[in-house]
């Protein structure tokens, strides 16, 4: 690392990993419930488990993005972070919101709007927290010597992500209108502005890891930003097909969302071609593996598995089934989970001066987690197709179809165990690095 203040990023990565473990535990609780073993029902009802699983996902990813920003922005802008004290305050308030929401869900303190379940008073805390975060980042960027394309794209993504949280906070009595604006947050995050954050982080990693000139790498970023906006904004329509909005959304959503995989394809081609072009490759091979991995798996999970059910003629059958969950898992993991794992793999040697990359532990972490996640995706896909057939074609009762799907959840649990083993190995490696130290500072 080049700046002492970059060390603060570590806190965010540690929180991110802790919340991921908790998220996975809730995943197992639901997996067992779907297998017919809902033994914890009295203490943790399904609605509390599912809200916790999904909101923890959002918080560990945000914590990872924030950590990445606190590391990247000083380095790109060539200046110390504006205030480490404020960054630590922001960290603790983020952890507080996370913990308060999880506890709240267990006492029925939630809103019931998928992915945005956290209750209104906590939303205000989120707003204050994010404003503080953006204040620190923007002040650093604009006091620095440089404003690189990489930094600007990443910060643009973060600012838009914050602004897009607001439509989800307006109160509507009408279910359709509420749902309409909820998608502005959820869809325009993952298929819009988070892709800019992803592009920025990928570009930073590729500059560091492949040795290819910044000018070449950053040219690609413009293409990715262009493709993302072109397809992703009106692509929101694929959530409006059957929620009570006008019919024209079938056409608009179908056409534009079918174009969305192009942005992810662009990201994959970008990473692979920069890797092949790179002549001064960094010795941290596992960071390169995770970086290429995120570019490729996101194309499969988000791009291809998204495309699989995005046309109205397909979605009318698959909507809200486990086909959706199949895509949701590989998309989130490939695009954003693996991205954070890539960043942590790159950054830990920089923060601590220790070189624990290319160990057996880190290699097995990559393969077990990914093979496990592909298995989980397959199990969910099989459950989803069974569900569509039994429930929607044959007309079987909802609960009877759930029972028929139980064997698929046995497979899900087996694969999830593999996935979890890989994640734990990654975290053990992360902990082995220890905490950041000033001795890891390099001057140049």
Binding residues for ligand HEM (CB under 6 A): 24, 27-28, 30-31, 34, 50, 53-54, 57, 114-115, 190-191, 238-239, 257, 260-261, 298, 302-303, 306-307, 309-310, 315, 319-320, 324-325, 327-329, 331-333, 335, 337, 412, 416, 419-420
**Half-sphere exposure for 307 (CA within 13 Å, toward CB):** 16
Stretch that binds Fe ion, among 14-22, 183-191, 295-303, 357-365 (CB under 5 A): 183-191
Question: Which does residue 72 bind out of ligand HEM, Fe ion, none, counting CB within 5 to 8 angstroms by kind?
Answer: none
Shortest distance (Å) from residue 376 CB to Fe ion: 20
- Closest to ligand HEM by CB, 3 vs 28, is 28
With 0-12 CB in 10 A as exposed, 13-18 as middle and 19+ as buried, what is 299? buried
- Closest to ligand HEM by CB, 213 vs 397, is 397
Q: Which of residues 187-216 bind Fe ion (CB under 5 A)?
A: 187, 191
Residue nearest to ligand HEM (CB): 306
Question: Which does residue 121 bind out of ligand HEM, Fe ion, none, counting CB within 5 to 8 angstroms by kind?
Answer: none
Residues in the chain: 444
Instruction: Give the residue among 81, 307, 71 at the shortest CA–CA distance from 200.
Output: 71
Burial code (b: 16+ CB inside 10 Å, e: under 16) for 242-268 equals ebebeeebbebbbebbbbbbbbbbbbb
Shortest distance (Å) from residue 314 CB to ligand HEM: 8
Question: Which does residue 208 bind out of ligand HEM, Fe ion, none, counting CB within 5 to 8 angstroms by kind?
Answer: none
Shortest distance (Å) from residue 275 CB to ligand HEM: 21
- Closest to ligand HEM by CB, 209 vs 405, is 405
CA distances from 1 to 70, 118, 132, 347, 405 (A): 12, 36, 24, 8, 50
Instruction: Give the residue among 422, 157, 155 at the shortest CA–CA distance from 290.
Output: 422
- Closest to ligand HEM by CB, 255 vs 441, is 255
Cα(34)–Cα(38) distance, rounded to whole angstroms?
A: 8
Which tokens sit at 351? Answer: 């923060």
Which tokens sit at 217? Answer: 């790498």
- Closest to Fe ion by CB, 253 vs 337, is 253
Shortest distance (Å) from residue 141 CB to ligand HEM: 25
Inter-residue contact 285 to 357 (CB < 8 Å): yes
**Residue 81 Rama label (left phi>0; alpha psi -120 to 50; beta):** beta
- Closest to Fe ion by CB, 7 vs 239, is 239
Shortest distance (Å) from residue 312 CB to Fe ion: 14
- Closest to Fe ion by CB, 236 vs 284, is 236
Shortest distance (Å) from residue 182 CB to ligand HEM: 9
- Closest to Fe ion by CB, 7 vs 187, is 187
Shortest distance (Å) from residue 401 CB to ligand HEM: 13
Q: Is 182 in the site for Fe ion (CB under 5 A)?
A: no
**Cα 162 vs. chain centroid, distance in angstroms?**
15
Question: Which does residue 50 bind out of Fe ion, ligand HEM, none, counting CB within 5 to 8 angstroms by kind?
Answer: ligand HEM
Return the number of other C-beta atoms located less than 10 Å from residue 127's C-beta. 14
**Residue 100 Rama label (left phi>0; alpha psi -120 to 50; beta):** alpha
Per CB under 5 A, residues contacting Fe ion are 187, 191
């Amino acid at each position: 690392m080049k700046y002492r203040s970059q060390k603060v990023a570590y806190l965010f990565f540690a929180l991110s990993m802790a919340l991921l473990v908790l998220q996975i535990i809730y995943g197992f609780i639901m997996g067992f419930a779907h297998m017919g073993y809902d033994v914890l029902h009295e203490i943790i009802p399904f609605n509390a488990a599912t809200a916790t699983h999904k909101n923890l996902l959002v918080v560990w990813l945000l914590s990872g993005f924030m950590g990445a920003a606190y590391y990247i922005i000083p380095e790109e802008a060539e200046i110390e972070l504006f205030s480490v004290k404020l960054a630590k305050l922001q960290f603790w308030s983020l952890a507080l919101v996370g913990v308060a929401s999880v506890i709240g869900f267990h006492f029925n303190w939630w809103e019931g709007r998928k992915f945005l379940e956290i209750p209104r008073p906590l939303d205000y805390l989120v707003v204050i927290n994010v404003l503080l975060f953006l204040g620190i980042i923007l002040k650093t960027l604009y006091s620095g010597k440089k404003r690189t394309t990489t930094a600007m794209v990443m910060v643009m993504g973060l600012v838009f992500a914050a602004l897009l949280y607001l439509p989800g906070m307006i109160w509507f009595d009408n279910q359709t209108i509420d749902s309409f604006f909820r998608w502005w947050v959820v869809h325009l995050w993952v298929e819009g502005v988070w892709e800019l954050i992803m592009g920025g982080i990928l570009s930073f990693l590729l500059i560091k890891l492949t040795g290819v000139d910044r000018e070449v790498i950053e040219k690609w970023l413009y293409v990715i930003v262009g493709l993302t906006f072109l397809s992703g904004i009106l692509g929101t329509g694929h959530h409006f097909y059957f929620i009570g909005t006008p019919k024209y959304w079938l056409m608009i959503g179908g056409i534009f969302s079918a174009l969305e995989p192009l942005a992810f394809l662009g990201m994959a081609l970008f990473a692979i071609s920069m890797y092949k072009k790179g002549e001064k490759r960094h010795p941290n091979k596992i960071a390169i593996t995770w970086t290429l991995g995120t570019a490729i798996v996101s194309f499969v999970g988000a791009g291809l598995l998204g495309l699989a059910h995005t046309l109205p003629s397909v979605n009318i059958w698959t909507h809200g089934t486990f086909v959706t969950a199949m895509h949701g898992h590989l998309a989130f993991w490939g695009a954003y989970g693996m991205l954070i794992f890539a960043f942590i793999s790159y950054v830990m040697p920089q923060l601590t001066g220790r070189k624990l990359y290319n160990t057996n532990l880190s290699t097995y972490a990559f393969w077990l987690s990914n093979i496990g996640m592909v298995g989980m995706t397959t199990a969910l896909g099989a459950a989803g197709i069974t569900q569509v057939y039994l429930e929607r074609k044959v007309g079987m009762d909802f609960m009877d179809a759930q029972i028929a799907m139980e064997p698929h959840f046995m497979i899900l649990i087996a694969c999830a165990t593999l996935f979890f083993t890989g994640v734990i190995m990654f975290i053990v490696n992360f902990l082995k690095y220890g905490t950041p130290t000033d001795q890891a500072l390099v001057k140049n």
